[in-house]
Amino acid sequence: MKKVLKEAGWLSLKLDKTPLYSLHQELGAKMFEFAGWSMPLRYTKVTEEVLAVRNSYGLFDVSHMGRFFIEGEGALELMQMSTTNDVSKLQPLKGHYTFITNEKGGFKDDCILTCMGKDKYFLVVNAANRVKIGEWLAKVAADMDLSVQITDITFSSASIAVQGPLAPRAVEKASGLNLSNVSRFSAVWMEISGIKVFATRTGYTGEDGFELYVFNVSAEEPENAVEVFKKMLEIGEAVKAKPCGLAARDVLRLEAGFVLYGNDVDEGITPVEADLMRFVKLDKGSFIGREAIETQLARGISRKRIGIKMITPHIPRKGNRVMVGGEEVGFVTSGNHSPTVGTGIAMGYLKPEYARPGVKVEVETRAGVGEALTTSPPFYDTSVYGLRRSTKPEARL
């Protein structure tokens, strides 16, 4: 029935709910539809939520993201063929950022893959691509005649992102563990309020933090997920940590220069054009899309992703044209006002000769033509914000 409703355009009549749905309502979240889910857009002002993450920490419900277990003796071979990064180098409880590409080298999705043990992987994909990726992996496994089990656990688990400079200390306090040796993209099992949690040192904000996975919960049996979220919120009261919605998450990822599927990358854009070849390992052997990517590297590209920082007080938005001297040289794929930087920022695709830092461009916004400079994200001062900041706020937890 749900599929029929979606196809008929009556999506609002049947939205999926995360295990934290009722808690969001209790906390006063403004809800909205995202990829077929009812999700928190914001709790207070988006600016307040963004700055909480940059200066303390924020809590995000990201349970809408697709989650899969891939296991069996063919699991490594399947993921090595299906993704661009080198899965053979992943030891247990280690992960990486990677892409699933089509035969033409375009993005089917960008995702996080973590090795949970011998012949077992945990894959997190974008919410809108969950069904597509599940079907694609099953097809690849069948074509390769692999012994592998692909299990979609999206509706039987929850994901809570704890993000910000004080996030690691908060998770340490909640779990009683010393997490200083858990490196970026590594994972660890822990207990929070007596509840078993699988935690990865990952995120989509540019800040340090963890994504906490609670298994064996659902919208009908949400108690363990709710308890973990409440515990992390309680610990953060002294440092003004906040629950945050997806609007703040989108601003934060843009400030960090992270791509959004459907805006900045899709099946018609390749890692070469997106300037993300550092996550494509051409020395690992065969993978789907490899030949197309190598051909593009040899022939060159007609567009390349770059950051755009406004000089004038205009707010760039997706679809805005980018000009140089009256000539159209590209377009914006993501744009917004940055509370951290204090001006409009964007990412987009420009002709390669202009897709380098320091080029003065004009952006045709709804409020008129604004002046801007191209730049390499992140947009913020990395000595003050983000993973490489020189000092962290004092943790009074």
Q: What is the CATH number of the domain that holds 394?
A: 2.40.30.110
Mean pLDDT of 168-173: 98
The answer to whether position 359 is within a domain reads yes
pLDDT per position as a tens digit, 353-381: 999 999 999 999 999 999 999 999 999 99
> DSSP character for 216?
S
The answer to whether residue 283 sits within a structural domain is no
| pLDDT of 160 | 99
Angle between helices 46-55 and 246-256 (to 10 degrees): 50
Q: Looking at the predicted structure, is the pLDDT value of residue 3 above 60?
A: no
CA distance 319 to 331: 6
Tokens of 365: 């916004």
Beta carbons of 263 and 275 less than 8 angstroms apart: no
Residues 250, 311 share a domain? no
Does any domain span residue 38? yes
**Which pairing describes strands 58-61 and 242-244: parallel, antiparallel, or unpaired?**
parallel
Residues 314 and 387 in one domain: yes
Over residues 323-343, the mean pLDDT reads 98
Domain that holds residue 53: 2-62+155-254
How many CA atoms does the CB half-sphere of 291 hold within 13 Å?
3
Q: Both 314 and 386 in a single domain?
A: yes
Give the Cα separation of 19 and 224 in Å (integer).
9
- 239: CATH: 3.30.1360.120
What pLDDT shows up at residue 2? 32
Share of the chain above pLDDT 70, in %: 96
> Do residues 231 and 346 both lie within one domain?
no
Q: Is residue 357 part of a domain?
A: yes
Given a cut of 70, is residue 7 above it in pLDDT? no
The pTM (predicted TM-score) of the whole model is 0.95
Q: Are residues 217 and 355 in the same domain?
A: no
> Is 58 in the same domain as 186?
yes
- Residues contacting 270, CB < 8 A, separation 6+: 101, 104, 105, 106, 107, 289, 292, 293, 296, 301
Boundary residue ending a domain (217, 234, 254): 254
Q: Which two tokens stand for residue 10?
A: 């009556």
135 membership: H or E segment, kind and range: helix 130-143
Whether 306 and 240 map to the same domain: the answer is no
Q: How many domains does the chain have?
A: 2
Same domain, 347 and 224: no
In a domain, 289, yes or no: no
Residue 341 located in a structural domain: yes
Per-residue pLDDT of 95-145, as tens digits, reads: 999 999 999 999 999 999 999 999 999 999 999 999 999 999 999 999 999
- Provide the β-strand partners of residue 321: 331
Residue 375 and residue 249 share a domain: no
The reply to whether 26 and 175 lie within a common domain is yes
Q: Is residue 334 in some structural domain?
A: yes
Average pLDDT across the chain, whole number: 96
* Residues 250 and 316 both lie in one domain: no
**Domain-ending residue, one of 254, 288, 317:** 254
What confidence score (pLDDT) does residue 396 get? 75
Per the domain annotation, does 44 fall within a domain? yes
Strand order in the sheet with 16-17: 16-17, 37-42, 30-34
